[in-house]
Amino acid sequence: MSQEVLRLRSENSPPSSLQARHIRNTLSNLEHQLNILKLLIGHIKRDRAQYKAILSPLRRVPMEVPCEIIAAAIPDAVLDFESRERVVELSLVSRRWRDAAHLCSRLWKGLFIGPRDKSVSKITTCLRRSGSLPKTVYFQGLRRHCPCQDAQPCDLNYPPLLKLLVDGPIIHHLAMYLDSMRCFKSFADLIALEIGAATPWASSSPHPWEALQSFSMYFISDKPEDWEEPMNPVESIVTKIPSVTSLQVDLPRRTQAFASIEESSYGPIHLTDIQLHRLSSFTIKWDWGNKRFFSVLRACVHVETLTIASNSAKS
C-alpha cells in the first residue's frame, strides 16, 4: 500500500476507495501528531520565557527605583484613608513592588486617621515602616459638630488614637481638628486615665503623648457655645496641652466665638509663660480684639519661627 501511495503522490491518478480511506487515516494521525507538537512547543516557549525572565535586567533594578515610582504616584506627605488604598493597589503589581512600598520609609511617615480606621495595629504597622523618620498623625472626626454636645459619646473617645498615643511608636507631630474645647478636655482626661492604667514600660521611655515635640489644634466649630474657655487659668484646657517645642493654635474666628468685637476683647487664652518659654516654633491664628495677644508674644522668648494669621480668609 505504501508503494501505491508513493506512486499517487508523484502522479495525478485518482486513488481507489481503499486508498482514499488509508490516506484519510494517515492525515488524521498526522494532524494528531501536529497538535501534540504544537502543545509541546507552547510549553517550551512558556518555560523559555520564564527562564529568560530570571535573567532580565529588571530583576537587577535597585529596590529604590520602584520605591521612587510609588512615592511619585502618591505625593501626599500625610496618607489619608484613600491614599493608603492607593498604596495597596500599587503593591499588587508584584511582590517586589509590595516590598518596595513597605521599605519606602518616607511614604509612611505621616498618616491622617479617623473613625474609619478601626485597627490600631494596622496604624502602628504603617507608622513603624517609616523607620527613624519623624512621624506625623492627623486626626479628624466624621462630623462637623461632635455628638457630645447632645450628651452622646464624643468623637475623640476613639480607642485606636488613645491606644496609639499610649502604647504606639514615638510620634513627632500630632494635629487634631477639634469641634470644641469640651472635646479636647475630654480627650486629654481620657489620655491621662489610659496612661495611668497602662502597664509600666520596660524602658524609661515616655509614652508617645508625653514625647510629642509638635502639636497643632484646629478649632473648627462655628458655634460660640463650643468656645467655653474658663476665666480661671487653672481650669483652662491649655494646661492639658502636652509639653512641646512647636505649637500651632487655630483659634475660632471672632464672629464664631463671640457676639461682638467688645466681647472678644475679654476672651481668655491661658497659654502659660512656662509653655511659651519652651517653644522654638509658634503659629497662632487670631482675630480677636484682645490685648492679651501681646503678652503671649512677649513670653515667646525662645521662638525662632513665629507665624501669625489674622483669620482674614474664609475657613
Q: Which 8-state DSSP code applies to residue 213?
A: S
The pLDDT of residue 171: 96
CA angle 186-189-193, nearest 5°?
135
108 CB neighbour count, 10 Å cutoff: 22
CATH architecture of 119-309: Alpha-Beta Horseshoe (3.80)
- Whole-prediction pTM: 0.75
Query: Which mean pLDDT values do the consecutive 10-residue runs of the chain (315 residues) have?
Result: 73 84 90 95 94 83 88 84 87 90 91 84 92 92 68 80 92 91 86 80 75 92 70 76 93 72 69 91 82 82 90 48
The pLDDT of residue 277: 93
The pLDDT of residue 141: 75
Rounded CA separation 32/314 (Å): 79
State whether residue 134 is helix, strand or coil: coil
Amino acid identity for residue 245 in this structure: T
Helix axes 64-73, 81-91, angle to 10 degrees: 140
Rounded CA separation 30/133 (Å): 68
The pLDDT of residue 170: 94
Q: Is the distance from CB of 264 to CB of 288 less than 8 angstroms?
A: yes
The pLDDT of residue 154: 78
CA angle 48-50-56, nearest 5°?
105
Q: Residue 246 belongs to what H/E stretch?
A: strand 246-250
Q: Buried (b) or exposed (e) across 135-156, using 16+ Cβ within 10 A?
A: bbbbbbbeeebbebbeeeebbb
The pLDDT of residue 254: 74
What are the residues whose beta carbons fall under 8 Å from the beta carbon of 59, sequence distance 6 or more? 53
Q: What are phi and psi of 197, to 5 degrees?
A: -95, -5
Q: Which of 281, 218, 274 is closest to 243 using CA atoms?
A: 274
The pLDDT of residue 267: 65
Q: Which of 192, 169, 306 is closest to 246 using CA atoms?
A: 306
Q: Is the distance from CB of 70 to CB of 100 less than 8 angstroms?
A: yes
Q: Which 8-state DSSP code applies to residue 299?
A: T
The pLDDT of residue 272: 86
Q: Where are the domains of the chain?
A: 119-309
Q: Is the distance from CB of 258 to CB of 288 less than 8 angstroms?
A: yes
Q: How far lies 6's CA from each of 2, 14, 20, 25, 263, in Å?
A: 6, 13, 13, 16, 116
Q: Is the distance from CB of 240 to CB of 210 less than 8 angstroms?
A: no
Write out the three cell numbers for 96: 517586589
Q: Which 8-state DSSP code applies to residue 155?
A: T
The pLDDT of residue 143: 60
Residue with cell 468685637: 261
Q: How far lies 9's CA from each of 3, 30, 113, 145, 176, in Å?
A: 10, 16, 81, 93, 91
Q: What share of the chain is helix, strand, coil (3-state, %, to 5)?
A: 50, 10, 40
The pLDDT of residue 314: 43
Q: Which 8-state DSSP code applies to residue 267?
A: -
The pLDDT of residue 82: 84
Maximal CA-CA distance, the chain: 121
